[in-house]
Amino acid sequence: MNESIPERHGDVAPGDELRPADVPAAIRGYLIGLALATLLTCVSFYIARSTIVWQPSIPIALSVLALAQMGVHLVFFLHITSGPDSVNNVMALAFGLLIVILLVFGSLWIMLHLNHNLMPMERLMQMQR
C-alpha cells in the first residue's frame, strides 16, 4: 500500500489524489450530480410553463428548486460536505456569500437613496436659463 496517499473515509475534494479503484466512484458521484441538476432544471421549466402550481406560488416554488439546485452543486461538484476536510471550503463559501450579499444590498441601498442626493429638477431648470 502506498504510504503517501492518506486514507480517506468520506468525500474526496478536488485536487486530492485518487487511487485507481476510487475513480469509478468519483465518476458515479459526478453523474448522479449531473442527473439531479438536469432533473431540477427540467422541473423548474415545467413548473414555470404549466398550470400545475398555483400561479402566485410559482416564484416560491422556483426559489425552492433553485436552493435545491445550489445544494446539488455544492455537494456533488464542489464537494462541500460537513467533514473535517471541508472546513476551508466552507469558510471560502461563507466569505464568498458575504461578499455577494454586501454587493447586492449595497447596490440596492445606493439605488434606493440615489434621488436623495440629486439636485431638485426645479433648481436644475433655473440653472440652465
Residues 26 and 53 both lie in one domain? yes
Cell for 10? 468520506
How much is the pLDDT for 4? 53
Domain finish residue from 63, 81, 99: 81
Burial class (CB in 10 A: 0-12, 13-18, 19+), 89: middle
Return d(Cα 99, Cα 103) in angstroms, integer.
6
Q: Are residues 66 and 88 in the same domain?
A: no
Residues 10 and 83: their CA atoms lie apart, in Å, by 8
pTM score, two decimals? Answer: 0.64
Residue 11 · residue 85 · CB < 8 Å: yes
Q: Are residues 120 and 62 in the same domain?
A: no
Query: Is residue 46 located within the same domain as residue 93?
Result: no
Number of domains in the chain: 2
Can you give the residue range of the structural domain that contains 19? 1-81
- Type of residue numbered 5: I
| Cα dist from 104 to 65, 68, 74, 97, whole Å | 21, 21, 21, 11
Question: Do 70 and 102 fall within a single domain?
Answer: no
Average pLDDT across each block of 10 residues of the chain; the chain has 129 residues. List them in order.
53 61 86 96 95 92 95 89 79 92 95 79 80
